[in-house]
Each structure stands twice: as C-alpha cells, then as structure tokens.
C-alpha cells in the first residue's frame, strides 16, 4: 500500500506552475492517508483502511442490479459505477483487500490514487485557419472534458446562435443558484467522492482553478476577439471546433484528481453520449487494469468514443510517458512559433532577454541588489538569501529595489521583502514562459554571473525590467523539454506518445475565481491566461479528433486516431536523441486528418488479442469485455502485441548489438477514393538491414475495402533508436507511419 500511495498524480500543467503545485499535492496525499486511518484492531496492518477501487469489468447485466452486487460484497461503498461498466470504491483494510482480490468476477483491486492535471496562435500555426472547411454537423459533436470544471460565463462559452443540445445528449446539468448550463456548455457535473470540501473549493461544476476553462476553450471555445493576457498574445482566441458542444465533468480539486472521481466521470460521460473524451490528467505508468484512466478509456472505446490524453510533463527522461494504453491517444507537447521574452537593462547599459510573462507596466530604473548581499542575519531566519529562499532576505536592504536571485521561485519572498522586481537565474532549461508575482525576467546562470560582477563593480548598481513582448521563433515546432518521452513503459512494442500538439505558452479562457498565478498576493483576475503543459496539447488533439469525427461520424476511435497519426509530420527534438519518443508520429495536422486516404482500424477484439499477447488471461479479459473473448481462440500471429493494427511500428529488443527480425501484420482500409492504387515508400536510416513491405502496391476497387500487408524489419540495434518510415501514397494522400527499433530498457521488462 505504501509504495503505490507514494505515487503522486496531478494535472499535466506547466512546469512552472507544477513546481509550485507539487508541494500541495504531496501534503494532500498525507492528509488523505490520515483521513482514512481508522482506529480498529491492534494489528498494525489492519489499522489503516485505504480507499480502493474494485474494478469488475463490463457493464453489469440487469438481472443482478449492480448496487446490490456491490453492497453484497462490502458494506462501506464510497462510489458505485454501473452505467457504462462495473465496479465500486470502498475503504478496505489490507486483509479485506486481499480477500476481495480473490473473488470471482473481480478484475482488479487497487488503491485509489490522486492524479495530476498535466491561442490562440496555435491553430493558425498548425495550418488550421478560422475559415477551414467545416462540417455542418460540427454543432452535434459533444466533447466531454474531465477536468477542474468550467467558468460558464466566459465569452468562450457564450451560447448565442446555438440551437438546443443534440438529441443524443443524455447528461445532466448540476445547476445551482450560481451555476447554469447553456446551449454551449450543455452539461456539467462534479465528482467529489463523499469527501469534505475545503474552504476554497466550490461545491459546483464551476472552475475555481482555471485549468478546466483553459482546456475546454482550447478544444471547443467560441471565436473571441480581442483576447489577451493583459495585452500579451493579443488576438483571437478560439477552439479547434468552435461550434461543438462541451460537457463538463469536474474531477480535479485542490488536492488533485482522485481515482474514484475519474472512474465515476467516465461511467457517466460514456452513458451521456459524448463523442470525444479529453483528459489532461495523469500519473506514473501502471498496469492497464489498475489504472482508472486506461479502464475508463477502454470502456469509452467499446462505446465508440476516443479518449484523448496528455502524455505527461516528466520529460525528457526516457520511459516517462503516461497514459499509454493503445486504445487511447497519448499527446506530447510541442512549441508554436510565438515565444515570449522579457528584457532587462542594467545601469551599465548592458541588456538581457530572459523568459517570463511579465504583465506589469515597465519598471522604472531601480537600485539593484544581490540576494546574497541582503542576508537577514536576525536569528531564526533561513540562510539561502542568494536564492531568495523563504524568510531569508533583509527587508531593510531589499525594499524598493530589484533583487537578483540565483534561483527561480514564484516571488513570494521578494514581495515580502518589498522588492520592486527580480532577476532570477537558473541552470535548468526554461523554454516556456510563466507569470510570477512581480516583474521578473529569468536568465541563465552564465548571464547571472555577469550581473553579479556588475553589482560588485559599482557602488550604485541599477536595473530596469521591461514588459514582456512576443517574437517569432523560426525554430518551431519542436518538442518541448518537459514533454514526457517513450519508450512505452507498459508495452514497449507500441510506440508512445502517439503524436504531439501545441502545448507551450497557450492563451485560453480562465476562471474569474482565481488569478493569473492563483497564488496569495496576486490580484490579477483575467478572462484569458497563458499556460503550458501536455494538459494544453491534449485538448488540441481532442479538437482535431472531434473535427475528423464531424466529417466521419461513424468512424471508430481507432480510425480517428489513425487519421490523426498518419497525417502528422515529424518535427525537431532539440538536444535529446530518439526523436520519435518525443513526438511519436509527429505533430497533428487537423486539416489533412479529415481526409487521410487510408486508415488502420481496430476494435475491441484487436485490443483483446493484444492484451493476450501482453499476458492477460481469458478470465480477466472476459470480465472486462463482458463476452466470451478467449486468448486461445486467437491466431498465433494475432497474439503478438506488435501485430495490433496500430498506425506505427515499434521493434524493441532486450539484446543490444544483436540482429533482430520482426514481422508486423497490418490491414489498412480505403477511406479515400475508389478505385485507387497505393505504393509503399520506405525510408530507413543506417542500422536497419532491410525494411520489406509485401505487397508493396495495394489496389482498392471500393471505399471501405481492406487490404493486408506484412512489414518485415531486420535491424542491428545499437545505443540510439533507429528511425524509419513507411508511407503509402496514391499521389494525393501520404499515409505515413514511423518505424522505430530500439533496445528496450532493462527495468521495463
């Protein structure tokens, strides 16, 4: 119990904000442990009862009502899932947990954990202009946002011109005197698993954090002009599918996103009739059937709903990608060509361009002091003044000055000491900008040394910090440093993340119940804010998926995913090798994705075969699928995980320097023109012996026709990943799949 509880989970939000938030998340975990500690027997093991998810697979049949079934298993039920699948949450001691795990009909029993939450220039940057071709049924598309709720009064969610919700909608609006839905936000519900609310939490689907309004408006917000963060990134804010409807499922609170609530929201969203589920939340990788997001996404897939997930912000460490179930879409984060810079000018005339979002008016010329020269020597104060650590600065020395600090913080200590601004330096990589509590520019360590030299060189050092301005970054798009990387730690032979989308310095709607930073001392309440993270890239991909679905309402989740992946294009990955572990198939191109030519389709049976290859047995799979699926009934070839009909090809091997041959079976479906002929174009870098495609011409007489082919890859694996590609081309469509080969990390086998 201890080890799994220690894994923390929160939003996939920006690295800057993450630094600030992570502390609260860990405290919340400890509180959770305490609040579930009950005084029982003297036995140490049984003293603590923890909240567990008891997952029972497929939707219960009507003969045994789920509630009765759940109650018969245990008395203390916290949450019961029965609309779209079967299971419940309950407080269990270790002994109870072990007993339940052995019961027939139970797929898994695992601790409920707390997960993390992982404009608009971005759509134009993707070649997806405001006047792109739209399907008339776009307004029938419903995107389910599992997040921190929504600020319904935002202009991004104004419902002028919208008709009533689509008829298929079966959800509810948990309205109150303070919260009402409209024809844009057609449904909203909050999930809080029977816990008490903290003082600042709103018992309503209303967003008091900002994250949920941001992601919802990125996916499906109205076209709003002008929008900016206090003048920064000024322009038009818009969602990818601005006519689509939004259904809000509030699952994330001050202490993070609880498994019990995530599962309850999936249970409802699937039954409510949403078309796409967008979920910018995650944790460290877990077994598919002990991971509420993978479980929810599996049942979504069974019901024809694609779940789009953030890949996580734990990059660039290898194997850090989360949300890697093959039936969901895992989205990494890449840059757009708009970047922000904040100028600093010293009294000696020297200027620097740092990173930050400084929304304050340009500062005057102020005296400059080094934090290290302003140590508060009163007993009881902390050392670390050079880093401007909490409670370290001497207010008498710092007041009215710009303070130079050898570390990055939100600025609380600088404000407490009366500073008018701060120069902060970092050894880390700061490639996304975030707002702080006072005028700040973040520079490199080397630049910091020259500033301290200047301070040393004069009796009257001064500095001035300018307002942030944006510039065109011609090196974009590239994968951002923090974006989580492959290889896929659960199934190494399936490449993850699947693709990337813009997730850096994104402007979108914000909550009026918080401020730019959400920190004490900030009074900047704004309708639009700029934040970064795979949390921000995920709703871009969710919108692209909704866009494809608006043209092809009958396509399966796998077909939509294939369309997005095979039309994506590779981008650069600075300083980190193994590019595909950063971007998968590449950056999304929604305009092309609506007409992919061919798709790699897959359904539940394909995933079940893949899971057999992964080592699950028929007993477990039957519970999940609710039918008579059996591993032994699948063909020998079908049981290899790499034979899942996936739109990318990954060969992993435990043996370095050995020659490895791998045979991949694929079937591809014509969704373009008929008749048509596609030719295979293979590219492979040195290290691949051969990549053979048989047959290498596919002839389709009809739309919907399927053709199978075999890709045989032989490679000698070295330290670096080998990278190649297969493109099926009919002269109009290029259906591209990456082919990668690499040595699987030992610890993941």
Ligand X SMILES: *[C@@H]1O[C@H](CO)[C@@H](O)[C@H](O)[C@H]1NC(C)=O
By annotation, the residues acting in catalysis are 147, 211, 535
Q: Rule CB under 6 A: say whether 31 interacts with ligand X.
A: no
Q: Rule CB under 6 A: say whether 452 interacts with ligand X.
A: yes
Sole window of 230-238, 350-358, 449-457, 534-542 interacting with ligand X (rule: CB under 6 A)? 449-457
Sole window of 280-288, 437-445, 514-522, 675-683 interacting with ligand X (rule: CB under 6 A)? 675-683
Q: Rule CB under 6 A: say whether 620 interacts with ligand X.
A: yes
Distance CA 606, CA 618 (A): 14
Cβ 180 to ligand X, closest distance in Å?
Answer: 12
Structure tokens at 476: 């974009």
State the burial class of residue 512 (Cβ atoms within 10 Å of its Cβ: 0-12, 13-18, 19+).
middle
Distance CA 440, CA 228 (A): 19
Cβ 167 to ligand X, closest distance in Å?
Answer: 32
Secondary structure of 249-300 in HEC code, one letter for each residue: EECEECCEEEHHHHHHHHHHHHHHCCCEEEECEECCCCCHHHCHHHHHHHHH
- DSSP annotation string for 296-360: HHHHHHHTT-EEEEE--S-TTSTT------TTSEEEEEE--SEEEEEEEEETTS-EEEEB-B--S
Cβ 525 to ligand X, closest distance in Å?
Answer: 12
Cβ 640 to ligand X, closest distance in Å?
Answer: 9
Q: Contact at 8 Å (CB) between 169 and 273?
A: yes
Q: Rule CB under 6 A: say whether 658 interacts with ligand X.
A: no
Cβ 125 to ligand X, closest distance in Å?
Answer: 13
Q: Rule CB under 6 A: say whether 61 interacts with ligand X.
A: no
Cβ 108 to ligand X, closest distance in Å?
Answer: 8
Distance CA 560, CA 538 (A): 15
Q: Rule CB under 6 A: say whether 23 interacts with ligand X.
A: no
Q: Rule CB under 6 A: say whether 676 interacts with ligand X.
A: yes
Q: Rule CB under 6 A: say whether 617 interacts with ligand X.
A: yes
Q: Rule CB under 6 A: say whether 635 interacts with ligand X.
A: yes
User: x/- contact string, 67-96, with ligand X (CB under 6 A)?
Assistant: ------------------------------
Q: Contact at 8 Å (CB) between 150 and 216?
A: yes
Q: Per residue in 225-255, is it b (16+ CB within 10 Å) or e — as a string? A: eebbbbebbebbbbbbbbbbbbbbbbbbbbb
Distance CA 557, CA 143 (A): 14
Cα end-to-end distance, the chain, whole Å: 23
User: x/- contact string, 173-202, with ligand X (CB under 6 A)?
Assistant: -----x-----------------x-----x
- Closer residue to ligand X (CB): 401 or 561: 401
Distance CA 205, CA 175 (A): 8
Q: Rule CB under 6 A: say whether 458 interacts with ligand X.
A: no
Residue 110 CB partners (closer than 8 Å, separation 6+): 4, 52, 53, 55, 286, 290
Q: What is the DSSP letter of 393?
A: B
Number of residues that bind ligand X (CB under 6 A): 24
Among 6, 38, 95, 720, binds ligand X (CB under 6 A): 38
Q: Rule CB under 6 A: say whether 675 interacts with ligand X.
A: yes
Distance CA 166, CA 182 (A): 13
Cβ 52 to ligand X, closest distance in Å?
Answer: 16
Structure tokens at 200: 């600042």
User: x/- contact string, 141-180, with ligand X (CB under 6 A)?
Assistant: -------------------------------------x--
Sole window of 75-83, 427-435, 448-456, 518-526 interacting with ligand X (rule: CB under 6 A)? 448-456
Q: Rule CB under 6 A: say whether 663 interacts with ligand X.
A: yes
Sole window of 534-542, 563-571, 614-622, 681-689 interacting with ligand X (rule: CB under 6 A)? 614-622
Q: Contact at 8 Å (CB) between 506 and 120?
A: yes
Among 44, 104, 199, 453, binds ligand X (CB under 6 A): 453
Q: Rule CB under 6 A: say whether 40 interacts with ligand X.
A: no
Residue 26 CB partners (closer than 8 Å, separation 6+): 8
- Closer residue to ligand X (CB): 445 or 689: 445
* 434: phi then psi, degrees, rounded to nearest 5: -140, 160
Q: Contact at 8 Å (CB) between 248 and 185?
A: yes
Cβ 370 to ligand X, closest distance in Å?
Answer: 8
* Residue ranges in contact with ligand X by CB under 6 A: 35, 38-39, 178, 196, 202, 204, 449, 452-453, 456, 472, 474, 617, 619-620, 635, 637, 663, 665, 675-677, 699
């Amino acid at each position: 119990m201890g080890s799994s509880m220690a894994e923390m989970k929160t939003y996939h939000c920006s690295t800057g904000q993450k630094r600030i938030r992570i502390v609260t998340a860990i405290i919340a975990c400890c509180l959770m442990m305490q609040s579930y500690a009950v005084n029982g027997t003297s036995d140490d093991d049984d003293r603590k009862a923890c909240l567990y998810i008891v997952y029972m697979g497929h939707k219960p049949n009507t003969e045994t009502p789920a509630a009765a079934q759940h109650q018969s298993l245990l008395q203390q039920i916290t949450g019961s899932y029965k609309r779209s699948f079967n299971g419940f949450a309950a407080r269990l001691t270790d002994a109870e947990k072990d007993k339940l795990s052995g019961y027939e009909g139970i797929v898994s029993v695992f601790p409920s954990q707390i997960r993390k939450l992982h404009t608009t220039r971005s759509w134009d940057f993707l070649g997806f202009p405001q006047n792109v071709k739209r399907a008339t049924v776009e307004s029938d598309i419903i995107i389910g946002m599992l997040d921190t709720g929504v600020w319904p009064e935002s202009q991004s969610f104004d419902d002028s011109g919208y008709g009533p919700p689509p008829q298929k909608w079966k959800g509810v609006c948990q309205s109150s005197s303070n919260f009402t839905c409209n024809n844009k936000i057609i449904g909203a519900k909050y999930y809080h698993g029977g816990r008490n609310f903290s003082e600042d939490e709103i018992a309503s689907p209303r967003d008091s954090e900002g994250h949920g309004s941001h992601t919802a408006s990125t996916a499906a917000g109205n076209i709003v002009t002008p929008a900016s963060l206090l003048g920064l990134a000024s322009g038009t804010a818009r969602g990818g599918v601005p006519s689509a409807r939004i259904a809000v499922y509030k699952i994330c609170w001050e202490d993070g996103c609880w498994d019990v609530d995530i599962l309850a929201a999936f249970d409802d969203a699937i039954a409510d009739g949403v078309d796409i589920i967008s979920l910018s939340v995650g944790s460290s990788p877990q077994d598919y059937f002990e991971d509420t997001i993978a479980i929810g996404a599996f049942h979504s897939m069974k019901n024809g709903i694609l779940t789009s997930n953030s890949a996580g912000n734990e990059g660039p460490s290898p194997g850090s990608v989360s949300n890697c179930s093959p039936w969901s879409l895992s989205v990494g984060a890449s840059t757009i060509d708009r970047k922000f810079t904040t100028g600093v000018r010293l009294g000696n005339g020297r200027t620097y361009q740092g990173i930050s979002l400084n929304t304050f008016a340009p500062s005057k010329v102020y005296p400059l002091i080094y934090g290290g020269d302003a140590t508060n020597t009163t007993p009881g104060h902390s050392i670390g003044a050079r880093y401007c650590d909490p409670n370290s600065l001497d207010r008498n020395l710092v007041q009215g000055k710009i303070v130079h600090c050898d570390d990055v913080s939100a600025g609380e200590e600088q404000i407490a000491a009366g500073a008018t601004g701060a120069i902060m330096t970092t050894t880390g990589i700061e490639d996304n900008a975030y707002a702080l509590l006072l005028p700040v520019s973040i520079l490199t360590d080397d630049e910091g040394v020259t500033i301290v030299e200047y301070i040393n060189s004069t009796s009257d050092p001064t500095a001035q910090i300018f307002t942030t301005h944006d510039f065109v970054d011609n090196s974009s798009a590239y994968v951002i440093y923090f974006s989580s990387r492959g290889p896929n730690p659960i199934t190494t032979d399936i490449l993850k993340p699947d693709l990337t989308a813009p997730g850096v310095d994104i402007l979108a709607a914000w909550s009026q119940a918080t401020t730019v930073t959400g920190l004490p001392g900030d009074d900047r309440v704004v309708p639009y804010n700029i934040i970064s993270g795979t949390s921000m890239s995920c709703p871009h991909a969710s919108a692209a998926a909704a866009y494809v679905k608006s043209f092809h309402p009958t396509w399966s989740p796998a077909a939509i995913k294939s369309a997005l992946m095979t039309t994506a294009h590779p981008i650069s990955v600075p300083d980190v090798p193994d590019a595909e572990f950063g971007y998968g198939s590449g950056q999304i191109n929604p305009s092309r994705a609506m007409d992919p030519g061919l798709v790699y389709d897959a359904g539940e049976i394909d995933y079940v075969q893949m899971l057999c290859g992964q080592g699950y047995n028929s007993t477990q799979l039957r519970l999940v699928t609710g039918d008579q699926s059996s591993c032994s009934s699948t063909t020998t070839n079908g049981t290899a995980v790499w034979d899942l009909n996936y739109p990318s090809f990954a060969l992993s091997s435990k043996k370095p320097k050995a020659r490895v041959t791998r045979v991949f079976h694929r079937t591809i479906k014509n969704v373009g023109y008929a008749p048509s002929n596609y030719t295979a174009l293979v590219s492979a870098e040195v290290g691949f012996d051969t990549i053979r495609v048989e047959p290498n011409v596919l002839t389709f007489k009809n739309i919907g026709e399927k053709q199978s082919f075999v890709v045989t890859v032989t490679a000698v694996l070295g330290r670096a990943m080998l990278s190649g590609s297969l493109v099926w081309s009919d002269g109009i469509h290029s259906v591209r799949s990456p082919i990668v080969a690499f040595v699987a990390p030992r610890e993941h086998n």
